[in-house]
Structure 1
Amino acid sequence: MLDELLGRAELKAQIVDLKQEKHHLERQLAAEEERRTDAVRERQEAEREVNQLQDRIEGLEERVERLSESQTERDELSVRTTQDIRGARRKNILDRIRSVETGPEGALTAMVTETVPNEIRRLLDERSALVQRLAPCLVCIDDAGMIAVAIELTAPPTPFVEWGTTFRIEPQWVAPAEPVTVAVVRSDIFALGVYDGSTLTHVTDVTTDVMDAHSKGGFSQARFERRRDQQIEDHLEHAHEAIETHLTENSQIQTSEVVVLGEKTVLGAFSDLAGRRETVDATGEPKSALEDAVDEFWTIRVSTL
């Protein structure tokens, strides 16, 4: 009662209210401090993650740059020399490579089609990329680094890797080991012969005067094309008959041993008579065209690595 008379009761009530408000504010302040601490911690964690990501990005960028430089170096690699060789020169060059003699296990010969063998990678290092680029090819490398060549063969064997004292280059990989029947066919010429890997023997030939241009006047364009197509068809029939006659007269020859070369548009007419058909650019008179076709088909490419 005295407090009420003196007005202290109201003041005490205000003090209690203020203390409660203070306590509430202190709790808010503590909560705010906690949130601020959490925010600082989260910000620091985020900064650490950002730094880690930046380090990874820089590392990946450096790796990409190294790979790009490495790819550029590989792209800039080139063979030292490249030769297309045929005929007598083909034999001379290959005999020269075969003549190299090394110590035991000093000459590596490998037929590469897709994957470059580890033996070649170890010997050539970054230049093994050239082998990948040239494949399929036969690779000859000696352990002293004096010889390193890749040969694109006419009749490549299945992949292999072997070491020896000399390089292994089988004759049948570059030219026929036995005589083969070979023909060149174009829409107006045909020639047939027998090739034994060094000598070409002429058998027969056919030349047809095929209309090669349509002049104004006279035949209509459609009639001209029909006549020309008929002339080509007759020519191909004569060529087909000539091969059949040769095979009949030489019954020991299998159609799989016959090679027909020439224009891509006419080769389909000989699918039943030839084991191999290939497009070549041989032109001119039948005999010379046949010689050129044989030389082109059995040309090999030798590249020094």
Structure 2
Amino acid sequence: MLDELLGRASLKDRIDELEEENERLRSRYEAESDRRAEAATARQDAEERVNRLEDRIAQLEGELERTSEDETGLSVRHRHQLRGGRLEAVLDRLESFRTGAEGALTVGVSDGGLSDPVRADLEPVLGDRVALVDDAAPCLCCVDDEGLLAVTLDPPLVPDREATWRDRFALEREWFLPTGRHAVALIRTDLFALGTYEGDERVDYRGFESDVKGSHSKGGFSQARFERIRDGQIDDHLERCRDALAAYERGGENADVALFLAGQRGVVDALVDESALEPAATAAVDATGDPEPALEDAVRSFWTTELRVL
């Protein structure tokens, strides 16, 4: 009676309603937190399983390749990683090769392998070993019509070159070696480095690191929150990378400079897909450490060509 007289009864009823509403919201929040934690845990479990399966696939593919080589005897005679002076010496030898008219074939082989017309040209010379050219794709293939010389090369810039028969191999140094003014950018989830070069000499540099959280081993809501924070930090970092590259391209002296992107494959692909960048070439490289030394490692890896002697 006293509560009603003082008007407190309605207030108490309102308080009870708000407490009930608060309890409902708390239950929904906890359920949503549990759902997100379970989803994060399931995602991590799935990623771990994918990684295990990919490792197993790589192992089985290696065993299959070794088995195929044992059964067929198909394997490259020599395989070399070439850069710098050694690469130039090999190119000199290839360019010095001479034969009769239309006796030397140079062809760019895409990811899809040899085209049927080129395969028909090569099979009389290489026989079953033509399969090794498909294995090396994408690559450049140089073969003479007598089978005295047969190699593939995977330079940083694999040209879209149709089959060319001449008295010598049709090679361009800029496919293999740093020439003229160009730029190489290294991009990781936490690092950016950009060097401008005149030939193999660096004339300009800029780089930075971003604060991106590393791996996390805890489960539950804490892990889900951690992953959201980390994803946001990576997005912010890639935005900084896009801004840095855009500022570089806006520079008047860089308008016609070839830009090469290297780094973590998924990160590089995402950056290209989400921007207006049109790099001359991209490459996956394993470059760790601080920005400047990591860029040096990336440039060394980028300008490396694998030679396979068939």
TM-score by length of 2: 0.62
Structure 2: gaps (5+ residues): 1-67
Q: Report whether the alignment pairs 1:285 with 2:286.
A: no
Following superposition, the deviation at residue 184 of structure 1 comes to 0.9
Match of 1:302 in 2: 307
Amino acid at match of 1:81: H
Q: 1:274 aligns with which of 273, 277, 287?
A: 277
For 2:129 and 2:222, locate their aligned partners in 1 and report how far apart those are by CA, in whole Å.
Answer: 61
Aligned residue type for 2:306: R
**Alignment partner, residue 259 of structure 2:** 258
Give the distance between the partners of 2:138 and 2:169, measured in 1 at CA: 17
Counterparts of residues 22-37 of structure 1 (less than 5 Å): none
Q: Does the alignment pair 1:147 with 2:149?
A: yes
Deviations 1:167-190 (A, max 9, x none): 221123334554332211112211
**Residues 1:107 and 2:104 aligned together:** yes
| Residue type of the alignment partner of 1:281 | D
Q: How does 1:159-238 map to 2 (within 5 A)?
A: 159-175=161-177, 177-196=179-198, 198-214=200-216, 220-238=222-240
- Which residue of 2 is the match for residue 90 of structure 1? 87
C-alpha distance in 2, partners of 1:122/1:235?
A: 53
Distance 1:133 1:75, change over 3 A: farther
CA distance in 2, matches of 1:152, 1:178: 21
Q: What is the CA-CA distance between 1:145 and the residue it aligns to?
A: 4.1
CA distance in 2, matches of 1:143, 1:226: 59
- Tell me if the contact between 2:108 and 2:159 (Cα under 8 Å) persists in the aligned partners: yes
| Selected match of 2:245 from 231, 243, 248 | 243
- 1:94-151 residue CA offsets vs partner (Å, 9 max, x unmatched): 1221122334444333334423443322222333332233334322233554322122
Higher RCO (CA 8 Å, separation ≥ 6 residues): 2
RMSD across aligned positions (CA) = 3.3
Contact 1:80 1:303 in 2 (8 A): yes
State whether residues 141 and 152 of structure 2, in contact with CA within 8 Å, keep that contact through their aligned partners in structure 1.
Answer: yes
Which residue of the partner structure matches residue 10 of structure 2?
none
* Alpha-carbon distance in structure 2 between the residues aligned to 1:111 and 1:265: 25
Q: Secondary structure at the match of 2:238?
A: helix
**Structure 1 residue 285: Cα displacement:** 1.4
* Contact 1:259–1:274 under 8 Å retained in 2: no
The answer for the alignment partner of 1:36 in structure 2 is none
Deviation at 1:245, TM superposition (A): 2.1
SS of 2:163's equivalent in the other structure is strand
Please say if residues 87 and 305 of structure 2, whose CA atoms lie closer than 8 Å, have aligned partners that are also in contact.
Answer: yes
Q: Deviations over 1:272-301 (max 9, x none)?
A: 253234433221111122222223333222
Deviation at 1:192, TM superposition (A): 0.6
SS in 2 for 1:160: coil
What is the TM-score of this pair, normalised by structure 1? 0.63
How far apart in 1 are the matches of 2:260 and 2:157? Answer: 13
Moved more, 164-173 or 230-239: 230-239
Secondary structure at the aligned position of 1:84 is classed as strand
Once residues 75 and 234 of structure 1 are traced to their aligned partners in structure 2, the CA distance between those partners, rounded to angstroms, is: 51
Give the equivalent residue in structure 2 for 1:35.
none
Q: Secondary structure at the match of 2:277?
A: coil
SS in structure 2 at match of 1:187: coil
Distance in 2, matches of 1:201 and 1:232, equals: 29
Once the two structures are aligned, what percentage of the paired residues are identical?
Answer: 39
**How far off is 1:72 after superposition?**
8.3
Question: What displacement does 1:252 show?
Answer: 4.7
2:307 is aligned with what amino acid?
V
Q: Quick one: distance in 1 between partners of 2:249 and 2:180?
A: 16
Q: Secondary structure at the match of 1:121?
A: helix
Q: 1:249 to 1:198 in 2, by over 3 A?
A: same
Deviation at 1:163, TM superposition (A): 3.4
Q: Deviations over 1:211-246 (max 9, x none)?
A: 325588xx9444444443444333333333222222
- Gapped regions of structure 1 (runs ≥ 5): 1-70
